[in-house]
Chains A and B, each alone.
Chain A
Amino acid sequence: MPKLKRSFSAHNSRDLLFALALITPALVVLLSLSIYPLIYSITISLQTETADGIKWGVSNFTRLISDAFFLTAMAHTFIYAVVALVFEFLIGLSLALLLNSQIRGRTLFRAALLVPMMLPTVVVGVVWRLMLNPNFGAINGTLKEVGVNTEPLTWTASPKLALLSVIAVDVWQWTPFVFLVLLAGLQAIPQEPYEAALIDGSSRWQTFRYVTLPLLKPAILIALLLRTMDLLRVFDQIFILTEGGPGFATETISLYIYRTAFRFFDFGYAAAMSFVLLALTNVISTIYIRFLQTKQTPT
């Protein structure tokens, strides 16, 4: 009770005002840059433009279900995210384990491995676009030199290879990120558990499976979480590499949202799609975070 009384005293209400004054700028920025646009985008997602003017309703959301382009773009996004994630994780983990051991020149390797991640995505997109060009590109040029028939290898121009090609570029650019996080995780693991395992006579596989992996779990989950969120909203490198083509073969949900908003000027429908993407990203992130919180103790 005395505490409560004190908080209403004149002295403290001045404190309160002062505190309010201090948080006001942040609050204004947050309101105008985050909250207002969020509310605005909710309202426009509930509006459709018709010949008779603006109509309110959920028609933008019902349209999603019957829009084959939206569903295909969603499917592409998930295939893209899952395949890229698996490869980035496996390669990233292998490299991290390799460079965590005492091999010669590992400082050099570590530095070199980070280069792709440092490059702007747009630059990576343009470089790979040139390399993957079926007629003038370096990849087909090299393959031709070693005697491969490159006629059917049209990479980003082939409906079968296009998605794989853009995934390969993502793996090339972002595996270093996974590697970096996992390497940091590995170096944070203390020596004692390994010594104990050695004394108990565990094999290398057993050490990896029952010591390294459980202790690395937080780092793994953080790497996967960040990559997943990034992969689900992938835009720039696909935009540069294929613009979603050929046909619709590499169109992801972000590209489709961009097109709908800025090429067709249908902001309502674009906002509705963005909310679906946001909801899915949230669900997936929550699952990851659950894992991270509940199973931190090694088993």
Chain B
Amino acid sequence: MLALCGCRSNREPSLKQLTLAVNSGVEGDALKQAALDYERQTGVHINIAEFPYANLFEKELIDVNAKTGAYDLIMLDDPWFPRFATKQFLTDLGPLMQKRGQAGPDPDFIPTSIALCRYPYQTGALYALPYVGNSQLFFYRKDLFEKHKLNEPLKWDDVLAAAKTIQENEHEGGKTYGYVMRAAQGNAAVADFMPIFWAFGGEMFDGSGMPTVNSPQGIAALKFMIELGKYSPPGYPSFNADEVGAHLLQGTAAMSINWPAWISSFSDATKSKVIGKMAFTTLPAAVKDGQAEIGNWLIAIPKDSRNAEAAIDFLLWTTSSEQMKLSAQRGNPPTRRSVFRDAELVAKFPSYPAQLKSLETSRPRPRTPQWNEIENVFGIFLSKANSGELTAEDAMNQANAEIEKIVQRAQ
């Protein structure tokens, strides 16, 4: 495969054509729409290669590894970015932007989002621009909180107390669980655990890059998660986003950590039994302030793209504030402050102020090229602890040992 592809690199670049690899889903749909508009305005023909989330990563990584230059722009979920950037698979956007009179990315972009696009994180060169500004939010039933005179969920202890009260008192028309979390191994368990872990003062790695998940803070955080799990519907150690969404929409659970993409479904009468009853806020605190996990979609130009100049023009256009507003209207949270504060959009999406605050204070998953593997292992042990197979201590000790193996193998 390598041999077949290497020989095409000196072909004349065509300026009138671009190929985009996009995620099939709301994020990719908005970009597809934008591509059609761009084609109409500029005459640049844009081919769309659309893949489901699970395949997108393999397709893109295989492409950049084989240096085919098949894609001129690729959508990346932000945890994938280090994997691409460490291997020099992406085009440094700095020189291309300078050519167009831009010293750096527009300061209107939210700093936590731009930091994801740099390698090394926050300080290095710019290899992508942020397109979709997701970060976790805390979802809760404000009607039940008012009914039982509960404190707003500012701290994790408030959350636990509220979960207990709600579960003990809400039986009308079936049981309402106090909380719902997802602890299926892999991404799900880790995403739901990280905000608790960080708030309890846990850190995944020390300064030298060695794992420290079994610190006293880490173990305390996992114990808390298991405690909270007692108020989550049975079977939650196998839950993914769908089950959590179903419980919230059916009104059978009162709180959860979730992603902004779910917000619109709560006001959809065909799906939701809780219209007007949900509130969205930033994540609760413990010994530290609450921090959400950031989950942005980035757009980058592979190094072997033969149309980098045309690609950067499209990239700058599609991440401009006007275009991002259109993308926001199509359902994607923006990555620019000005768009988050746009009066028209705030009227349409009342959770925008909370989303902006969550995003500005969010934290990324550790920026390591081995993240997929580490997340998998960490998720397995979190899931095992939640299903009662292991104690919190054993789970964290074993997770630490396995993560250490991965780190050492990569050195």
Residues on A lying within 8 angstroms of B by beta carbon are 51, 69, 133-136, 151-152, 154-159, 162, 242-249, 259, 262-266
Contact = CB atoms under 8 A, between A and B. Distances in A.
A245 B246 contact: no
Contacts of A162: 238
Contacts of B387: 157-159, 246-247, 249
B257 to A, nearest CB: 19
Contacts of A244: 185
A262 B373 CA distance: 11
Given A51-B410, A135-B234, A264-B373, 5 more contacts: A51-B411, A69-B402, A246-B384, A263-B57, A265-B61
| Most A-side CB within 10 Å, residue of B61, B186, B387 | B387
A285 B364 CA distance: 49
A265 B387 CA distance: 29
| Most B-side CB within 10 Å, residue of A133, A157, A259 | A157
A48 to B, nearest CB: 8
B238 A157 contact: yes
B185 A248 contact: yes
Nearest to B373: A264
A157 B380 contact: no
A264 B237 contact: no
Interface residues of B, number: 34
Contact of A245 (B238, B388, B411): B238
A135 B246 CA distance: 10
A259 B185 CA distance: 13
B401 to A, nearest CB: 10
Contacts of B58: 262
Contacts of A242: 238
Given A159-B384, A159-B389, A264-B372, A243 B186 contact: yes
B209 interface: no
A294 B79 CA distance: 57
Contacts of A263: 57, 372-373, 376
Contacts of B243: 133, 135
B184 A135 contact: no
27 contacts: A133-B243, A134-B234, A134-B235, A135-B233, A135-B234, A135-B235, A135-B243, A135-B247, A151-B234, A157-B235, A157-B237, A157-B239, A159-B387, A159-B388, A162-B238, A243-B186, A245-B238, A246-B184, A246-B237, A246-B383, A246-B384, A247-B387, A248-B185, A248-B380, A249-B389, A264-B372, A265-B61
Q: What 8 A-B pairs are tightest by C-beta distance, nearest first?
A: A157-B235, A157-B238, A247-B384, A134-B235, A154-B235, A246-B237, A247-B383, A245-B185
A167 B130 CA distance: 44
Given A135-B252, A136-B246, A158-B387, A246 B238 contact: yes
Contacts of B410: 51
Contacts of B185: 243-248
A168 to B, nearest CB: 16
Contacts of B183: 246
Contacts of B376: 259, 263-264
Contact of A157 (B57, B234, B246, B252): B234
Nearest to B83: A265
A248 B377 CA distance: 9
Contacts of B61: 265
